[in-house]
Amino acid sequence: QEPVDYLKIDVEFSEWAVLEEAMEDQGTLGYIKQLGVEVRSPSVFFDPSADPRRTFVHMFEALHRLEILGFRKFNYRKNPFGSYKSNITGLERSCCYELHYINSHFLSDNFTVVHTKDSKIFH
């Protein structure tokens, strides 16, 4: 029951099931200060006939539940080895992203930077 500084989830196509199970277990993620997850779109590899809209909504809802639990995304990047051309838009996409979250429940005033001098610099 000690806090964990950083947890990386990279479980090759099982990340959605692992995330959902961790979120259902009320206390599990509460001990995690920072969370890194490599996520993939399962429909790209496993079931090309799957409705991509439904898959997207399912993934969005899972990530939204992380935010409800107090996690805030502070970084993300596209995995350059997962590129493919979308059958729908014809645009270059990636099946894989690295997402990084911080658990806001572990933040205190001395870890929060508030810019008040020139707020327009960030707009």
Please tell me what DSSP assigns to residue 30.
G
pLDDT digits over 79-115, tens only? 888 888 888 889 888 888 999 999 999 987 665 555 5
Axis-axis angle for helices 52-68, 15-24 (nearest 10): 40
Q: What is the pTM of this model?
A: 0.75
Q: Are strands 96-103 and 92-94 parallel, antiparallel or unpaired?
A: unpaired
**Cα separation values, 123 from 12, 56, 73, Å:** 37, 29, 19
Domains of the chain (ranges; CATH) run 4-106 (3.30.110)
Q: Which residues contact 75 (CB under 8 A, 6 or more apart)?
A: 98, 99, 100
Q: What mean pLDDT comes out for the span 65-85?
A: 89
Q: What is the CA angle 65-69-74, rounded to 5?
A: 85
Judge contact between 15 and 8, C-beta under 8 A.
no
Say what the pLDDT of residue 113 is. Answer: 57
**Cα separation values, 42 from 17, 94, 95, Å:** 11, 12, 8
Q: Letter for the amino acid at 109?
A: D
Q: What is the largest CA-CA distance in the chain?
A: 53
